[in-house]
Chains A and B, each alone.
Chain A
Amino acid sequence: MEEQSKSRREFLATGLLATLAAGCSSADNPFTPEDNVVPSGTKVKLLSVDGDVIEVDQAFLKPVPDLPPVSNSEARRGIEGKKFVMVIDLSRCKNLKKCQEACNHCHHIHPGDNWIKVHSMQDAEHTAPYWQPTTCMHCDEPPCVKVCPVDATFKRQDGIVLIDSDRCVGCRFCMAACPYSTRVFNWGKPDIPEEIAEQQYSCETSVPQQKGTVGKCDFCPDMARKGLLPHCVTACPNGVFMFGDMNEDSVSNGAETFRFSELIRDKAGYRLMEDLGTKPRVYYLPPVSRNFPYEAGLENES
């Protein structure tokens, strides 16, 4: 289902770009149609810009080239005019861990080093248990950034806290400082495919992770630049995660979009460990009127 919609988007964009690129002749232009393509005979139906359904030979389709990664200084500044925020609705979570899977897959994280964790929580002896996914809280007063000796972890103007793995010295003070235990260390050489490991590290994708440096949830700013939602948000079938921009006062889980302030007001949103003064950018909605009983999540607990 997810695969399908993705390829559909790609087809659309290719069609659009091919039209735009007609007339460009520069050889290294990625949009230039290749001349020596042999038609494969397999036709694919596409929606044209005018809204007509057209058929194109599969051989003429190319994946949309990724946007070039932003420079380090741009990645450190952040996206202007944005204040990213996440809302996690605990009443919808049943510990499926699809968020975790997608996050691990897209960031090439080994399953033992999950950035997203789903905790089985019970606040007191007689209170109800619930499932609580945690990402990086992207605090506005980030304890990790405060203690970093080399500015390898930093806070951006759009609220996101990122890590420059090319600079991190591996002292792990940030791990000790983070009360949410959100940070994960690459104790040995990360177990990732060679072609990924050889890539230039980008703070916005957090790929590839490097030996002897720290990693954590990055709010997927590379997706935000493309106007897309973080991987955990789109992967969750229950719409637990909502992501958005506080300046626009809207958050979305892909299927539904809410006014952030109303959602927090109506459902009594709160943040974790408010008393520590870290001012997280992740808000939680309490596990009331739940979609699933707590026990439904137990089958997924190893």
Chain B
Amino acid sequence: MENPANLRTAEKITNDLLPQKFGKAGTIWTIILIIFCAIGAFAYIRQLRYGLAVTALGDYVSWGIYISNFVFFVAISLVGSLITAIFRVTNVKWSTPLTRIAEIIAVSAIVFASLIIIVDMGRPERLVNLFFYGRLQSPIMWDVVVITTYLFISLLLLYFPLLPDLKVLIDNNKNNPKWLNRVYKFLGSFWKGTPGQYRISNKAINVLCILIIPVAFAIHTVTSWLFATTYRPGWDSTNFGAYFVSGAFLVGAGAVVVAMYVMRRAYRLEKYITPRHFDNMGKILVMLALLYLYFNINEYLVPAFKMKKPEEQHLTTLFAGEFAPLFWFAITVGMVIPTLILIFKKGRRPLPMFIAAIMVVVGAWFKRYLIVTPTLLHPFLPMSNVKESYKHYFPSWEEWAIAMGSLAGVLLIITFFTRIFPIIPIQETITEQDEKHESE
């Protein structure tokens, strides 16, 4: 069965895909991320000492960029379920090299979504009250439950497919520091790669892949309900769950494309992440951008047609007022221009794809800001007898530092992960290669 040609391929693949030490660029990148995280941590220490008073939040804009960042993270994490689970269940084969990228994005984003929610709390030390006095009737508790579930399923979906690769890593442990080999052994020494083990692992992955789809829909639908269960103009919408989920798949797919491009360049993975992967992901991005655009039209056109009194002020500031530049930026840069780039075959080459995907992700971040803040500046009763500063909102430096620090934190987790684990599944790639040879 095993001919020499195959063995060479396996060896070559393993050598290509084993995690590499940071080069110069990698080291600089990591140091920059750590600096951002440190500044964010410093800002958070200030917030712990002085309270949320260090933010620019007020009694009207009581949720700011912490919450929009939270929504952004939850959104981005949905991509794990799309690329790992939905593609697997629907038998899409080409996505194999992207599954681990998607899954680590999902795990790190959901971890920071949980952290940023704790940052937003006025009394973070009372987090335990959620367990002592938790009310299951509150949408916040629903979010706690589904996000925790999603985190654990995502971790398992990251871990199980990693097992065969851990064996490869343990077998090729010569140049590694001792602690790293200990980590590999701790995580995967029980994996021998017997058919029995594969059977159990495959079955488990299949079950998790099906389980994670409703949970993924739930995390972002419930997150949308944190807004939609209130009466406020701009939030009081039955469209919100679908609107959030579609936007989440879009930004997540955008993030995967960005990561694909960067890792392909950084680790010279051109043979594994091919133009075909970009082409396919490009088509998916177009579809998702158009889907999100569709929900945006629903979300804004229908209330704008009626212009009910509470909605009117809100929509006017979005379309033509204070928030108009940001609003049209998010629509055009986040959806329309990427679509225009990606509908052409030339636009689906790696570099233009990378640019379009960056636009999607940046547009999506500002979109989340627009979902949270303008609504809160348009309450039903006038803003009377309050501090002047409550009538506007621009985040303080501490908020920016913490938000940027959390973004850096997500990237840092992904960076460290790629340093110690193969970002493209080695064993799976080898198996697929063998199957291809056999069929030839």
Contacts and interface: CB of A to CB of B under 8 A. Distances in A.
B140 A176 contact: no
B63 A117 contact: no
B57 A114 contact: no
Task: Give the most central of B59, B60, B382: most A CB within 10 Å.
Answer: B59
B50 A188 contact: yes
B88 interface: no
B138 A211 contact: no
Contacts of A171: 120-122, 140
B122 A211 contact: yes
Contacts of B231: 143, 177, 179, 276
Contact of B376 (A117, A176, A186, A211): A176
Contacts of A212: 51-52, 121-123
Interface stretch (A52-60, A148-156, A223-231, A241-249): A148-156
A294 interface: no
B380 interface: yes
Interface string A144-176: 001111111000000000000001111111011
Contacts of B138: 146-149, 173
Given A149-B134, A150-B130, A169-B130, A118 B140 contact: no
Given A169-B122, A176-B63, A187-B51, A181 B385 contact: no
A180 B230 CA distance: 12
B230 A120 contact: no
Interface in B104-121: 120-121
B121 A185 contact: no
A121 B382 contact: yes
Given A146-B137, A151-B135, A173-B140, A168 B381 contact: no
Interface in B232-256: 232
A77 interface: no
A100 B134 contact: no
Contact of B51 (A134, A146, A148, A189): A189
B122 A179 contact: no
Contacts of A146: 137-138, 229
B381 A134 contact: yes
Contact of B123 (A118, A184, A189, A213): A213
A112 interface: yes
A180 B52 contact: no
B175 interface: no
Contact of A143 (B63, B230, B383): B230
Nearest to B57: A187
A298 interface: no
Contacts of B53: 187-189
A190 to B, nearest CB: 10
A9 interface: no
Nearest to A184: B59
Given A149-B140, A149-B141, A188-B52, A117 B123 contact: no
A214 B52 CA distance: 12
Interface in A177-200: 177, 179-181, 183-189
B386 interface: yes
A179 to B, nearest CB: 4
Contact of A117 (B129, B133, B384): B384
A273 interface: yes
B387 interface: yes
A46 to B, nearest CB: 41
For chain B, the bracket of interface size reads 35 or more
Interface string B48-65: 001111010111101100
Interface in A24-82: none
A150 B133 contact: yes
B122 A147 contact: no
A177 B230 contact: yes
B229 A177 contact: yes
Contact of B126 (A97, A169, A173, A176): A169
A185 B123 contact: no
Nearest to B235: A176
A176 B59 CA distance: 9
A119 to B, nearest CB: 5
A72 to B, nearest CB: 12
A179 B123 CA distance: 24
Given A169-B126, A176-B232, A147 B139 contact: yes
Nearest to A277: B231
Task: Give the most central of A114, A143, A172, A180: most B CB within 10 Å.
Answer: A172
A100 B59 CA distance: 17
Nearest to B55: A187
Contacts of B60: 181
B387 A112 contact: yes
A272 to B, nearest CB: 8
Contact of B229 (A112, A120, A147, A185): A147
A129 B79 CA distance: 52
B230 A169 contact: no
Contacts of A100: 385
Interface string B376-405: 100111111111000000000000000000
Contacts of A189: 50-51, 53
B50 A175 contact: no
A169 B122 CA distance: 6
Contacts of B384: 117-120
B269 interface: no
A212 B57 CA distance: 12
Q: Closest 9 interchain pairs by CB?
A: A170-B122, A188-B53, A212-B122, A149-B140, A149-B138, A187-B53, A150-B133, A212-B123, A117-B385
19 contacts: A117-B384, A119-B381, A120-B382, A134-B381, A147-B230, A149-B138, A149-B141, A150-B132, A152-B133, A170-B121, A170-B122, A171-B120, A171-B121, A171-B140, A173-B140, A176-B227, A185-B52, A188-B52, A211-B122
Interface of A: 97, 100, 112-114, 117-121, 134, 143, 146-152, 167-173, 175-177, 179-181, 183-189, 211-214, 273, 276
Interface of B: 50-53, 55, 57-60, 62-63, 120-123, 126-127, 129-130, 132-135, 137-141, 144, 226-227, 229-232, 376, 379-387
